[in-house]
């Protein structure tokens, strides 16, 4: 099978809602990438929950591209990694030699809330899912509110070194613990915020990477969707989708969890990062709370979703963009030294769908 | 590279607008397919311009499926074939062993009109594109209104044998020529109609096809997108996108146009079918009008878009579904005898994007 690499990555500054069309937001991270690569791009895949028609082709035209493949793709919050998996397959299958994946979203996106899931009655905002997960994990495993808060402290601290993050100030444990209670025990600073933002990556076939400096190889991809709601959940302390996706990605990449040096995990809420440690095999089941702040693996060096903000269609692409920069030694102030193997963990809608990728330099 | 086949195909009855949710419309053609295949499906790809969020995963849940990959995809009228091309690549690349592609649309879809294209001022309904193409083809090549009308007569006649078509009555040349003028010289019966409808196909890897009866192989795929508007057109009598996509598909399939036995062409307007004959190399440039009614290739046996109706996200899937039935000998009253090689030609937005597929038994 043909190998596929990511040759370049760029992310725009995530920002509060402003009067900018989604197309303008989407184009922004692409200019630098295309200046370097030229306009001979075989595919443009646009990951967004924005509902404008023909959006991928409009973005292609605005960028001056005439690709073979142009399509917009969405699946709520893991749209971005799904689009990258599709780009991988277009190249690995031989249909394309290159693919530009751009993810973009506006703050007031229709993708911010899942109205379909009636399993929790009127409690259908994402924070309600987080509340159920947190309460269950606390009850079953003794995880504490302070441990969850430490996730927020760590990711805000990392985001302070990321000029593209929405939140650029560190927060203290006290500030997190005293922030407004939204849905017990989830507080305001345990939650991520929607925002405007975009990120883009360029994938190339092995032949085309000969001209690229420091290509980052896609070594493993795992995906799993169990449903659109909680209807099939039997456990609120672990995500079966993430476990399956991770196992598949590790198997394809032929690595063990302990070989991961750096990872971007889906911290839309602090409890999700704690669950991710366990689902990905970084920590044993129930030990996720105690794993916060360990220094064996660099977690969410860009600041994660908590620090950067959550432009839904862009998030998965931004996660992959960060790991690409890390593995190619281009992460500047955020550089994790000596990292060779990276992982991205991207969820959708209370973890009813999950995508995991393993990248390597 | 792994070979990929289509093992089953189904299309619902296309109908006038009714109060049915898009999800219900989408599920309908899938039941029979899944009864035969079982629920072990690796991917669900949903082609639609409908704007509901998480729609692919909602459809998966309604069908009782837990696929690895779930994503909704759109690019206006060639969403369907693009989704099938993506499904092909997911399997050919090894990420999946099977993929269900379902296309569905409601009559009052936001995909019926492209508001982005301002190249023609206020004349931005699709019929205005058809008017410009028709006038140019008539002026340059002497194509006549009667020749265009004959396309409508032929396709309505074919649709009369298709129990799933929107229009089940034949029309006469006189009826077409006397139908209401919409945009000179395009008359009402030169135009297709939006409607509710869905179609689905199941793709399998070569290993998985061992249990399938009469699998139909995907032999060639070609795609090209030149822009989102007329801004880059230099010719209104031929579609560069279709020509490029066709050449790529023929090259991948290692066939010549003369080897095509049966084809579904994008006849959203009668002139588009005439242009397709030329762009696909069935007729020489300028000869498309005279090619109508030839009997070397069976064209639009299901009745095409003119006869069946145009549920935008479903159309490309329905075209592929028809060719699949034809090549596997399951087209009943519409069966084209002895066909071995089939072609699908699917356009979007005035042919600013095109996808061509070659299938073989």
Cβ atoms of B202 and B37 within 8 Å: the answer is: yes
Report the share of chain B in percent with pLDDT over 90.
90
Q: Which residues of B touch A93 (CB under 8 A)?
A: 1, 88-89, 92-93
Give CA–CA dist B78/B83, Å, rounded.
Answer: 9
Give the model's pLDDT for residue A12: 98
- Give the whole-angstrom CA distance, residue A358 versus residue A167: 27
Q: What is the pLDDT of residues A117-159, one digit of tens each?
A: 776 677 778 899 899 999 999 999 999 999 999 999 999 999 9
The helix/strand/coil state of B165 is coil
Average pLDDT over residues B31-56: 96
Q: How many residues does chain B have?
A: 361
| Top-confidence residue, A88 or B128 | A88
Length in residues, chain A = 361
Here the tokens at position B281 are 């190399």
**B95/A89 Cβ within 8 A:** yes
In chain B, what are the domain boundaries? Answer: 4-109+192-360
Tens of pLDDT, residues A14-61: 999 999 999 999 999 999 999 999 999 999 999 999 999 999 999 999
Q: Does the pLDDT of residue B279 top 90, yes or no?
A: yes
Q: Which chain A residues have a beta carbon less than 8 Å from that of B111? A: 53
Do residues A50 and A26 lie in contact, with contact meaning Cβ atoms separated by under 8 Å?
no
User: What is the reported pLDDT for A113?
Assistant: 72
pLDDT of A244: 98
Q: B220 in helix, strand or coil?
A: strand
Identify the helix (H) or strand (E) that includes residue A26: helix A22-27
- pLDDT tier at A94, thresholds 50, 70, 90: very high
Q: How far apart are the CA of B226 and the nearest CA of chain A, in angstroms?
A: 5
**What CATH code is assigned to B4-109+192-360?**
3.40.47.10
Tokens describing residue A26: 């989407």
pLDDT at residue A318, rounded to an integer: 98
The pLDDT of residue B122: 72
* Distance, CA of B357 to CA of B347 (rounded, Å): 12
Q: Is the ipTM of this complex over 0.85?
A: yes
What are the tens digits of pLDDT across the range B229-262? 877 778 899 999 999 999 999 999 999 999 999 9
Eight-class DSSP state of A222: E
* Rounded Cα–Cα distance for residues B38 and B36 (Å): 6
* Strand intervals (E) in A185-230: 186-187, 197-205, 216-225
**Widest distance between CA atoms in chain A:** 55
Percent of chain B with pLDDT over 70: 99
- Average pLDDT, rounded, for chain B: 95
CB contact under 8 A, A75 and B71: yes
Show Cβ contacts of residue B178 under 8 Å, excluding neighbours closer than 6 positions. Answer: none
Q: Which of A23, A26, A54 best probes binding to B when mutated, by most B CB atoms within 10 angstroms? A: A54
Rounded to two decimals, the pTM is 0.97
Backbone angles phi, psi at A276, to 5 degrees: -65, -40
**What are the angstrom distances between the C-alpha of B25 and each of B35, B39, B46, B315?**
18, 19, 12, 14
Q: What positions of B carry a catalytic annotation?
A: 77, 310
Residue B110: band (very low, low, confident or very high) from pLDDT cuts 50, 70, 90? confident
Write down the pLDDT at residue A120.
Answer: 66
Q: Which of A67, A115, A352 comes nearest B57 by C-beta?
A: A352
User: Which positions in chain A touch B352 (Cβ < 8 Å)?
Assistant: 57
């Amino acid at each position: 099978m043909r190998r596929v690499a990511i040759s370049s990555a760029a992310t725009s500054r995530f920002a509060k809602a402003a009067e900018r069309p989604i197309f303008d937001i989407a184009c922004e991270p692409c200019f630098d990438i295309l200046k370097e690569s030229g306009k001979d791009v075989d595919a443009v895949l646009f990951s967004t929950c924005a509902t404008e028609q023909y959006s991928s082709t409009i973005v292609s035209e605005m960028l001056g591209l005439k690709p073979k493949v142009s399509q917009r793709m969405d699946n709520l919050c893991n749209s971005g990694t799904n689009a990258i998996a599709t780009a991988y397959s277009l190249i690995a299958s031989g249909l394309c030699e290159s693919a530009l994946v751009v993810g973009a979203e506006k703050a007031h996106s229709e993708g911010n809330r899942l109205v379909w899931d009636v399993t929790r009655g009127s409690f259908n905002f994402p924070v309600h899912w987080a509340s159920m997960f947190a309460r269950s994990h606390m009850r079953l495993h003794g995880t504490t509110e302070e441990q969850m808060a430490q996730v927020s402290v760590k990711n805000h601290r990392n985001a302070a070194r990321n000029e593209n993050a929405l939140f650029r100030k560190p927060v203290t444990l006290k500030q997190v613990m005293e922030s407004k209670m939204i849905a017990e025990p989830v507080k305001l600073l345990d939650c991520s915020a929607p925002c405007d933002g975009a990120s883009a990556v360029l994938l190339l076939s092995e032949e085309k990477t000969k001209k690229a400096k420091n290509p980052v190889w896609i070594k493993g991809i795992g995906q799993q969707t169990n449903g659109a709601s909680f209807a099939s959940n039997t456990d609120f302390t672990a995500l079966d989708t993430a476990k399956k996706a991770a196992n598949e990605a590790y198997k394809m990449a032929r690595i063990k969890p302990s070989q991961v040096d750096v990872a971007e995990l889906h911290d839309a809420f602090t409890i999700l990062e704690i669950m991710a440690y366990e689902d990905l095999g970084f920590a044993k089941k129930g030990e996720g709370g105690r794993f916060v702040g360990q220094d064996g693996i660099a977690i969410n060096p860009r600041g994660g979703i908590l620090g950067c903000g959550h432009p839904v269609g862009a998030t998965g692409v931004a996660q992959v963009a960060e790991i690409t920069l890390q593995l190619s030694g281009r992460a500047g102030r955020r550089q994790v030294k000596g990292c060779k193997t990276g992982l991205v963990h991207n969820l959708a809608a209370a973890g009813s769908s999950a995508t995991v990728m393993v990248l390597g330099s």
